C-alpha cells in the first residue's frame, strides 16, 4: 500500500508536466500537439503487447522487471528533452505581445490622460491581468471530470470483466491494448485537421457517442458473443474516442486560457482527468462491480 501511494504521488504529475513541456516546445505551433502525442499512444501499445506476451509465457512477476525497464528508458529519454521553444517562434510571440502591450498602453493613456500617474499605473496593471472564467470553461471542466470518471471505470475494470465473463487470458488482454491505440495514432495525427474542419464541440460530442457504443457492445458481449477475441474490434472505438477528446480538450484549454496561464490550465485539465476523475472512477467502479 505504501509503495502504491508513493508511486501515485510521483507518477500523477508526469502527464501534466509532459503535456505542458510539449506545448512550450511547440511555441506558436500548438496545433501540432496531436502529432507529438501520438508517439505516447504508439509506445503504450508496443509496451503493453510485449508485456502481455511476456507475462503469459514467463510469469506475472516478470511484469515488474519490465516496468523497471520501461521506467529506465523513460528517465533516460527525459535527459535529452529540449524544454524550450524554438527561438524564432519565441521571438515572434514576444514581438506580437510587445506590440499588443504598446497598443493597450496607448489606449489606456488616452482614457486616463486627465488622471494621476497612480491611476494610470493601476489601470495598466489591471488591464493586463484581468480575466474571468466563463460558464463555458466551467462546464468544460465539469464535463471532463464526468467523462474521465467513465473512462476510469472502463479502464480499471474492463480486464476483470473480460477475464471472468468471457475467459480472456493475459495474452488476449495484452493484445487488446495495441488494438485500443490502433486508431488512436492516426486520429492524433489528423487532429489538427479535424479541429479545423469540425470544431471542438463536434469532436467532444462524437467522443460521447463512441463511448456509449463501446459500453453497449461490451454489455451484450457475454450473452451474444461470449468469445474474448471479439473484444479486439470493440477496442478500436477507444482509440478514436480518446484521441478525439484529448485533442479537443487541449485545444480548448489553450484557446480559452488567460495569457500566461496556459500551462496552469493544462495542469488543471490533466489533474481533473488523470487524478481526480481516475480516483473517483476507480472507487465508484469497484462499488458498482461488487453489487
Q: Are residues 272 and 236 in the same domain?
A: yes
The answer on 43 and 169 residing in a single domain is yes
CA geometry: angle at 42 spanning 41 and 47, to 5°? 100
Are the CB atoms for 256 and 134 separated by under 8 Å? yes
| Predicted confidence band of residue 83 (pLDDT cuts 50, 70, 90) | low
Share of the chain above pLDDT 70, in %: 78
Region of poorest pLDDT, from 61-65, 154-158, 236-240: 61-65
194 shares a domain with 95: no
Domain that holds residue 97: 87-128
Distance CA 194, CA 184 (A): 13
CA distance 185 to 45: 10
Q: Please, are residues 12 and 270 in contact by the beta-carbon 8 Å criterion?
A: no
Residues 36 and 151 in one domain: yes
How many domains are contained in the chain? 2
Q: Is the pLDDT of residue 131 over 70?
A: no
Higher pLDDT, 258 or 89: 258
Amino acid at each position: 500500500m505504501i509503495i502504491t501511494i508513493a508511486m501515485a504521488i510521483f507518477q500523477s504529475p508526469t502527464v501534466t508536466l509532459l503535456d505542458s513541456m510539449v506545448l512550450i516546445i511547440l511555441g506558436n505551433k500548438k496545433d501540432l500537439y496531436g502529432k507529438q502525442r501520438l508517439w505516447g499512444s504508439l509506445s503504450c501499445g508496443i509496451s503493453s503487447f510485449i508485456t502481455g506476451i511476456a507475462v503469459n509465457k514467463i510469469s506475472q512477476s516478470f511484469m515488474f522487471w519490465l516496468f523497471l525497464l520501461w521506467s529506465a528508458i523513460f528517465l533516460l529519454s527525459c535527459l535529452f528533452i529540449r524544454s524550450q521553444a524554438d527561438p524564432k517562434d519565441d521571438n515572434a510571440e514576444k514581438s506580437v505581445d510587445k506590440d499588443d502591450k504598446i497598443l493597450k498602453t496607448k489606449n489606456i493613456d488616452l482614457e486616463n490622460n486627465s488622471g494621476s500617474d497612480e491611476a494610470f499605473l493601476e489601470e495598466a496593471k489591471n488591464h493586463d491581468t484581468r480575466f474571468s472564467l466563463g460558464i463555458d470553461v466551467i462546464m468544460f471542466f465539469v464535463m471532463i471530470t464526468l467523462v474521465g470518471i467513465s473512462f476510469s471505470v472502463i479502464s480499471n475494470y474492463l480486464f476483470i470483466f473480460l477475464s471472468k465473463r468471457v475467459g480472456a487470458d493475459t495474452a488476449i488482454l495484452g493484445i487488446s491494448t495495441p488494438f485500443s491505440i490502433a486508431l488512436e495514432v492516426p486520429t492524433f495525427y489528423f487532429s489538427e485537421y479535424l479541429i479545423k474542419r469540425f470544431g471542438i464541440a463536434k469532436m467532444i460530442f462524437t467522443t460521447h457517442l463512441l463511448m456509449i457504443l463501446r459500453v453497449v457492445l461490451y454489455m451484450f458481449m457475454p450473452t451474444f458473443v461470449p468469445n474474448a477475441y471479439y473484444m479486439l474490434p470493440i477496442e478500436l472505438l477507444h482509440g478514436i474516442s480518446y484521441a478525439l477528446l484529448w485533442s479537443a480538450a487541449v485545444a480548448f484549454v489553450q484557446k480559452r486560457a488567460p495569457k500566461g496561464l496556459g500551462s496552469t490550465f493544462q495542469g488543471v485539465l490533466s489533474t481533473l482527468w488523470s487524478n481526480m476523475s481516475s480516483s473517483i472512477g476507480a472507487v465508484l467502479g469497484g462499488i458498482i462491480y461488487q453489487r
